[in-house]
Structure 1
Amino acid sequence: MKPERLDKLLAAQSTFSRKDVKAMVRKGLVSVNGLVVKSADLKIDMEKDKVSLCGEPVSISKYSYIMMNKPAGVVSATRDNRERTVIDLVPQELLRDGLFPAGRLDKDTVGFLLITNDGDFAHRILSPKNHVPKTYIAQLDQPIDEEIMVKFEEGFALDLNTDCKPARLKILETGKRELVEVILIEGMYHQIKRMFEHFGRKVVHLQRIRMGALYLDESLAPGECRELTQDELKQITTKI
């Protein structure tokens, strides 16, 4: 891991802002490896350096885990020459080297997106063999019938080369614009839209509301994000 600025790291992993950290440095309240820090832009090696605040050790992780309420119109990528990306929405105090979206939501799909720099964790929650469920709310242009529900529960072939694993499907609201809940353990390209299109239904709105057992924080407005706690990380890997 590349060394990072002290004020940036403390702001990303505490309740303090970078402005707060700079003020504490000026007051001589921050030390690194036993020495009082004189500059908030000191570069920190997260694997070697020991940071203390007001005499108390501060645990700084080399990995970052961010929950974002992804808005529509933003692409799930680290960079794009034409479109605004989810990384562009991460506030300065949470930015870390190597951040990427763990799994993709389509440009017009909204909701829970995990952003991290921990490749092993991302692989663990995205691999279909680990069966970490992702829960979505979909609004459809037409009602569904019992046949569709059975096919979702059993799993079915989208085409000659693409098989969908069993998924849970529940009707939340009936009517002309039916509202359904879908729980997947895989995440193929445009999967939910393609699954419903297979049966002549169109998804007109799609939101991811949960990863594992962890729900999207309802206090996050579209485009907002925050760090996850260790307890919340465990909930992501919890089966439901």
Structure 2
Amino acid sequence: MRINKLLSNYGYCSRKEANRLLEAGRININGLPGIPGQWVEETDDLLLDGLPLQPQEKIYLAYHKPPGVVCTLSPFARDNLLLNLSLPKYVFPVGRLDKDSRGLLLLTNDGDWAHHLLSDEHHVEKEYAVTVDRPLTESFALAMAEGVDILGTRTRPCTVTLTGTHTFSIILTQGLNRQIRRMAFALGYTVTDLQRVRMAKILLDNLPEGECRSLSKEELHPLPAENPKEGEILPEGSSTPLE
């Protein structure tokens, strides 16, 4: 496999972020500096900062992202996840929530699991609670559900339920950039609050804003390969503030 995939499988970083380690000369393959995309075997002599590369214990977390937090690990971005997460081991976000949105954000060091959830072919459901700036109509719900033209394409049909005069629930199986906000705007509405409440079987439920919890085996199933162990940082069902 390529070195980027191996680093992701081992739980060190995402495939994209592996390039930074390689370009910085921190990965050594059989006595030579590694290069992005290089093919390797697990039997090769693989070193990170002079230490052998070994599979890391897998971590799976649900985080209640507050508004204002940017879903990036880049230390150069203001309000990035690194400033809001305080964890002893590396994790990366599974997908994104835009800066102004809040709710469920999954974090892991398992690249295959993340890829499975984000792959367009799997049609993983993501559910949101949305508030807009003016009263909603049945025609709005119907138009949203049938698909809206944004970003040069028509959105995939989805489930929309009106929950109040200014609020609705929407279940998507795709993840275009700022999709719900763009869909609503195309129909003459402005989103004033957007919260992700579910992804696959995983619920935000009553997890306090700014806190996280480990996922259970039931929440993780099914996976592309074997069932992983439960998240190791927190006992199942517990939560802790992320300073």
Query: Which band: TM-score by shorter chain?
Result: 0.5 to 0.7
SS at match of 1:121: helix
Shift of 1:236: 9.4
CA distances 1:3-58 after superposition (whole Å, capped 9, x unpaired): 9xxxxxxxxxxxxxxxxxxxxxxxxxxxxxxxxxxxxxxx99865xxxxxxxxxxx
SS at match of 1:173: coil
Q: 1:113 aligns with which of 105, 108, 133?
A: 105
Could you state the TM-score of these two structures normalised by the residue count of structure 1? 0.67
Task: Write the distance in 2 (CA, Å) between the matches of 1:154 and 1:202.
Answer: 19
Aligned pair 1:162/2:153, yes or no? yes
Shift of 1:127: 2.0
2:216 partner amino acid: T
Task: Write the distance in 1 (CA, Å) between the matches of 2:223 and 2:63.
Answer: 14
| % same residue | 35
Aligned pair 1:67/2:62, yes or no? yes
Shift of 1:84: 2.1
Q: 1:139 aligns with which of 131, 136, 142?
A: 131
1:64 partner amino acid: I
Task: Write the distance in 2 (CA, Å) between the matches of 1:211 and 1:230.
Answer: 15
Q: 2:193 aligns with which of 199, 205, 230?
A: 205
When residues 236 and 2 of structure 1 are mapped into structure 2, their CA distance, relative to the original with a 3 A threshold, is closer
SS at match of 2:169: strand
Residue of structure 2 equivalent to 1:234? 221
**Contact 2:11-2:58 within 8 A present in 1 as well:** no
Aligned pair 1:214/2:213, yes or no? no
Aligned pair 1:225/2:212, yes or no? yes
| Greater radius of gyration (CA) | 1
**Contact 1:135-1:210 within 8 A present in 2 as well:** yes
Residue of structure 2 equivalent to 1:195? 183
2:141 partner amino acid: M
SS at match of 2:163: strand
When residues 116 and 153 of structure 1 are mapped into structure 2, their CA distance, relative to the original with a 3 A threshold, is same
Q: How many residues align?
A: 177
Residue of structure 2 equivalent to 1:90? 85
Query: Which consecutive residues of structure 1, in runs of 5 or more, have no partner in the other structure?
Result: 4-42, 48-60
Task: Write the distance in 1 (CA, Å) between the matches of 2:210 and 2:64.
Answer: 6
Task: Write the distance in 1 (CA, Å) between the matches of 2:82 and 2:156.
Answer: 30
**Contact 1:87-1:100 within 8 A present in 2 as well:** no
CA distances 1:122-180 after superposition (whole Å, capped 9, x unpaired): 12111222111000001111122232222222223225x22210111111112xxx011
1:221 partner amino acid: P
Shift of 1:120: 1.5
Query: Which consecutive residues of structure 2, in runs of 5 or more, have no partner in the other structure?
Result: 1-9, 13-50, 225-243
Which moved further from structure 2: 163-172 or 138-147?
Answer: 138-147
SS at match of 1:210: strand
CA distances 1:53-79 after superposition (whole Å, capped 9, x unpaired): xxxxxxxx6321111000111100112
Task: Write the distance in 1 (CA, Å) between the matches of 2:181 and 2:11.
Answer: 40
Residue of structure 1 equivalent to 2:163? 172
